[in-house]
Amino acid sequence: MNIQNNIPLAPLTTIKLGGNASQYITCTTNEDIVAALKHAQEHNLPAGQAGLRVHVLGGGSNTIFADNGFNGLIIHIQTKGITASADGTLTAQAGEGWDTVVQYAIVNNLAGIECLSGIPGSAGATPFQNVGAYGQEVAETIIRVDAINRQTLEQISFTNTDCNFAYRTSRFKTTDRDRYIITSVTFSLTPNGTPTIKYPELAAFVATSAPEASLASVRDAVLTLRKKKSMVVGSEDPNSISCGSFFTNPIIALSAFNALQQHSADKIPNYPAGNTEDGTLLCKLSAAWLVEHAGFSKGLERGNVGISQNHSLALINKGGTTQEILALAQEIQDTVQTTFGVKLEMEPIVVD
Ligand X SMILES: Cc1cc2nc3c(=O)[nH]c(=O)nc-3n(C[C@H](O)[C@H](O)[C@H](O)COP(=O)(O)OP(=O)(O)OC[C@H]3O[C@@H](n4cnc5c(N)ncnc54)[C@H](O)[C@@H]3O)c2cc1C
Catalytic residues: 168, 245, 347
Considering only 114-122, 199-207, 210-218, 331-339, which stretch makes contact with ligand X by CB under 6 A?
114-122
Subset of 45-84 contacting ligand X (CB under 6 A): 56-63, 77
The candidate with the shortest Cα–Cα distance to 243, out of 316, 302, 180, is 316
| Residue placing its CB nearer to ligand X in the complex, 79 or 257 | 79
Decide: 130 and 138 in contact? Cβ < 8 Å. Answer: yes
| Residue placing its CB nearer to ligand X in the complex, 59 or 88 | 59
Considering only 195-203, 240-248, 279-287, 300-308, which stretch makes contact with ligand X by CB under 6 A?
240-248
Q: Measured between alpha carbons, how far is residue 138 from residues 20, 33, 169 in Å?
A: 32, 24, 11
Q: Measured between alpha carbons, how far is residue 89 from residues 44, 144, 193, 214 in Å?
A: 42, 10, 13, 20
Subset of 178-237 contacting ligand X (CB under 6 A): 181-182, 231, 233
Mask: binding to ligand X, 250-279, rule CB under 6 A, as x and -?
A: ------------------------------
Task: Give the binding-site size for ligand X (rule: CB under 6 A).
Answer: 33
Q: How many CB atoms lie within 10 A of CB 264?
A: 12
| Residue placing its CB nearer to ligand X in the complex, 20 or 61 | 61
Q: Checking phi first, is residue 87 left (phi over 0); if not, alpha (psi -120 to 50) or beta?
A: alpha
SS3 label, residue 10: helix
Considering only 126-134, 200-208, 288-296, 302-310, which stretch makes contact with ligand X by CB under 6 A?
126-134
**Kind of pairing between the strands at 142-149 and 155-159:** antiparallel
Among 72, 88, 121, 195, which residue interacts with ligand X (rule: CB under 6 A)? 121
Decide: 240 and 228 in contact? Cβ < 8 Å. Answer: no
Contact positions vs ligand X (CB under 6 A): 14, 56-63, 77, 94, 119-122, 124-126, 128-129, 131-133, 172, 181-182, 231, 233, 240, 242-244, 349
